Each structure stands twice: as C-alpha cells, then as structure tokens.
Amino acid sequence: ISNIDQKEIVAKKISKLVQDSQTIGIGSGSTAFLALKHIAQKVKEEQLTIKVIPTSYEIELACTYLGLTLTTLQQERPDWYFDGADEVDVDNNLIKGRGGAMFREKLLLMSSNKNYIIVDKSKMVTHLGEKFKVPIEVIPEAINYVRHSLVKMDIVTMDLRMATKKDGPVITENGNFILDVKFKKIERTFEKDIKNIVGVIASGLFQNYDISIITP
C-alpha cells in the first residue's frame, strides 16, 4: 500500500490511545500532522477534554486551528508523546529533524513517560544515514566553531540549511541555524559527541531512547 495510506494507518492507530484528561506531546512532520487530525476528531466525537504541547509553530497553529487546548512544559508534563521520524534502524535508533523541530521534539520526548514513533515502512533502514543527513541545530554565533569541530568527525558533506521563501539560512523556532551533515559512518556515541560541541543545541540523532515504534 502507498506511503500515504501507511501514514493514515499509523495516524489512526496512535489516535486510539487518547483518553480523557490526558496531556499529550505532539511531534512535527506530515505523519504527526495526520495523527493530530484524527486525535482532534476523536476528541470532538467523544467529547474528551485533553491538553496538547506542540513541538513547532506548524503544529501549534494546527492545534489552535483544530480547537485543541494548548499547554506548555512550564505548566505540566505530557502523559505520552508521539512523533514521526526520517529513519529508524534495527535497534530503534532514529534520525529526525527533516522538519527542523528536533530540539523541542527531543525535549518533549525526554519529558514524557511514554514515547511512540509513528512511521511508514519507507523509514526503516539497516544503518542510520542511508537516506537522510543528520540535522544539527546551532547557535548562529557558534557556526564556524561547530563546523570546524564536526570536520574532525569524518564527515562526507556539511551544508547550512538555506530557506527557499526568504533569503539566507533557515531560522528555527529557537532562532538558530541548522547544519545538515552526512557522516561516513554514524557511531553509537555520535549523539553525545555532537551535543558536547559548544554551540550545538540539539541534533536529529536519537540513539538508545526508550521508544515504541508504530508501523502500519
């Protein structure tokens, strides 16, 4: 079945988990967006009362449009979190961040007791890095220091993510740049190694997290 049908299947699956009075963390990307629509429909049909914590402006605007009640991590923790991914390897390690929201996605994931990743089969890989680069969010002032530090990690390519509808680089919700990096081989320590570079806010590498993968 097509990728879009697979996304609908996992979106419907995750929406079934919603219960009254829950606070739910909402990941970003097209699969999470589909799930959000099914969640909003279930909330309306069953007259549930839930709160949601978004991970990007896109999802925040979608939650508002769908009439869902927003809250923040300052007020409470999510009962559970769901999100998409760009790649899932055989050990459930992820590459995320095609949508550029990986800092808040990682923060929500770490703040939640239970985490679900909803993916169509095209996301499954043997080794991370087969199809997607690793996005790294960088404080603008640190961009050159971070570039020099990454070069030592045996990279293949490293590109500053440029905007298409605005001159200059993409600016994240946190006001930062994104470097998209292709590594020769992604080692098990890379998420930590990258995070240790001063000026790095977060990367799209999610290694050794306690997550449940939902497939069609």
Least distance to ligand DER from the beta carbon of 86, Å?
4
Identify whether 46 is a catalytic site residue.
no
**Closer residue to ligand DER, CB minimum distance, 51 or 98:** 98
- Distances from the Cα of 194 to the Cαs of 43, 73, 76, 151, 188, in angstroms? 40, 25, 29, 11, 11
Nearer to ligand DER, 40 or 118 (CB): 118
Nearer residue to ligand DER within complex by CB, 32 or 197 = 32
Contacts of 166 (CB under 8 A, 6+ apart): none
Amino acid identity, residue 73? Answer: L
How far lies 49's CA from each of 36, 40, 64, 170, in Å?
A: 15, 11, 15, 36
> By C-beta, is 98 or 161 nearer to ligand DER?
98
Distance CA(97)–CA(40), nearest Å, equals: 24
Buried b (16+ CB within 10 A) or exposed e, 19-52: eeeebbbbbbbebbbbbbebbbebbeeeeeebbb
Cα gap 129→127, rounded to integer Å: 6
Q: Measured from the CB of residue 192, what is the shortest distance to ligand DER in angstroms? A: 19
Work out how close the CB of 72 gets to ligand DER at its nearest, in angstroms, rounded to a whole number.
20
Residue nearest ligand DER (C-beta atom)? 29
Q: How far is the CB of 101 from ligand DER (least distance, A)?
A: 5
Q: Which residues bind ligand DER (CB under 6 A)?
A: 27-32, 83-86, 96-99, 101-102, 105
Measured between alpha carbons, how far is 69 from 66 in angstroms, rounded to an integer? 9
Please say which residue, 29 or 129, places its beta carbon nearer to ligand DER: 29
Nearest distance from C-beta of residue 172 to ligand DER, angstroms: 11
Kind plus residue range of the DSSP H or E element containing 40:
helix 30-45
Structure tokens at 99: 């949508």
Q: Which among 8, 58, 105, 191 is annotated as catalytic?
A: 105
Active-site residue set: 105
